[in-house]
Amino acid sequence: MDRKAWRIFAAGALSLLLIPLWVGLFFALPAAPRPLPPSAKTPPRPQEVPQVAVDVRLYDPQTGQIQILSLDDYVQGVVAAEMKPGFHLEALKAQAVAARSYAVLHLKGWGGAGCPQQPAADICADSQTHQAWKAVAQDEKAEPGFLTQVQEAVEATRGWVLTYRGVVAETTFYAASGGRTEDAREVWHRAVPYLVSVPSPEESPYDGEKATFMWPQVAAAFGLPLSQFPASPSRRFQIRDYTAGGRTRTVLVGGEIFSGVEVRQRLGLRSTWIVGVEATDARLTLTTRGWGHGVGLSQYGAQSMAQKGATFEEILDHYYPGTQLTPLAYAQPPRPQTEHEGEGAGR
């Protein structure tokens, strides 16, 4: 083989040897990065979060009127109505995100059920149905410093909601847990992965409250004849068992079984966490802890965590484990609601 032919042969052989190397390098090169939602670990400033213009059709049962508000104007009214002056800014931020998420969950334009009291509205302005709310601009009794903090909390979290696996979460809340939150299954008879029982060390003015009833009142509240109640006072009202969260699950009243939730509703108790029962021939006295259904965020618990240095992200992660802070622009609409989701967030 002459020298020229040998060079051609060598070049061809070298090219064949280099082909696998070039192919490997091609597939090993990283692809162009895809844009991702901002990380909730270090939330960007509100102006850097993609914003979605959302209006809320709010029904006020006291006036019978429907108001159209921007989402964050509505959230300001919720935080001002639900939280107390003097609460830490981080607790107010946590409440703002919870209120915003809960509102989006019910918006008809996002697949929510709307306000059951007024079909033309998205949300009812009362805590028994949805969330408490008040017109911040018209609240002459409000402390100016508190309203400034409320506005700061809403602005600092503008555009953020809580999601679970990408879908807007059901962020229920209430005043005080009494020391531990409740599992949604015990209250609404349905499992929600992030509404589970968690510790909630806190101090609130609602622990140790007493409520006293005469036995005819008890009988009327449960629709039972007074003659049905046993002669022994200690047998007239007996707690049968407790939930994993420590609250009353079932009670024997006048010989019939009622759930702890029913007992609370019929007697108007602060909570289902009954820690004391005193029964005499004439009356029944019950001692309770906390205020509210106990599912999700405890407002006094959020305050306690904030006072100890927790950020609003850490507070939300504690009370809604498994959820993620997500810009509303990236959140998926909620799934269709069940019949039990008409319960108010705040009580």
Tens-place pLDDT, residues 213-266: 999 999 999 999 999 999 999 999 999 999 999 999 999 999 999 999 999 999
Q: Which residue has the higher pLDDT, 341 or 64?
A: 64
Average pLDDT over residues 74-95: 96
Helix, strand, coil fractions of the chain, as percent rounded to 5: 35, 20, 45
In the numeric block, which tokens belong to residue 327?
């810009």
Confidence at 46, pLDDT banded by 50, 70, 90: low
Q: Are residues 181 and 299 in the same domain?
A: yes
The per-residue pLDDT for 340 is 45
Buried b (16+ CB within 10 A) or exposed e, 155-185: ebbbbbbbbbeeebbbbbbbbbbbbbbbbbb
Those residues whose C-beta lies under 8 Å from the C-beta of residue 119, and which sit 6 or more positions away, are: none
Q: Are 249 and 243 in contact (CB under 8 A)?
A: yes
DSSP state of 309: T
258, part of any domain: yes
Assign 138 to helix, strand or coil.
helix
23, part of any domain: no
Average pLDDT over residues 196-205: 94
Q: Are residues 119 and 236 in the same domain?
A: no
Which spans in 174-319 are helix H?
184-188, 215-221, 260-267, 299-307, 312-319
242/249 Cα distance (integer angstroms): 5
Q: Are residues 259 and 302 in the same domain?
A: no
122, part of any domain: yes
How many independent structural domains does the chain possess? Answer: 2
Confidence at 148, pLDDT banded by 50, 70, 90: very high
Q: Are residues 278 and 298 in the same domain?
A: no
289/178 Cα distance (integer angstroms): 5
Residue 171 has pLDDT above 70, yes or no: yes
Confidence at 30, pLDDT banded by 50, 70, 90: very low
Q: What is the mean pLDDT of the chain?
A: 86
Q: Which residue has the higher pLDDT, 335 or 156?
A: 156
Max alpha carbon distance in the chain (Å)?
A: 122
Comparing 6-10, 220-224, 265-269, the range with the smallest average pLDDT is 6-10
Neighbour tally for 259: CB within 10 Å: 16
Confidence at 174, pLDDT banded by 50, 70, 90: very high
The per-residue pLDDT for 339 is 44
In the chain, the N- to C-terminal Cα span, in Å, equals: 95
Domain end position, chosen among 248, 268, 288: 288
Give the percent of the chain with pLDDT over 70. Answer: 81
Q: Are residues 181 and 111 in the same domain?
A: yes
106, part of any domain: yes
Confidence at 2, pLDDT banded by 50, 70, 90: low
177/184 Cα distance (integer angstroms): 13
Q: Are residues 239 and 311 in the same domain?
A: no
Those residues whose C-beta lies under 8 Å from the C-beta of residue 165, and which sit 6 or more positions away, are: none
Residue 132's domain spans which residues? 54-185+294-342
The per-residue pLDDT for 42 is 53
The whole model's pTM is what? 0.83
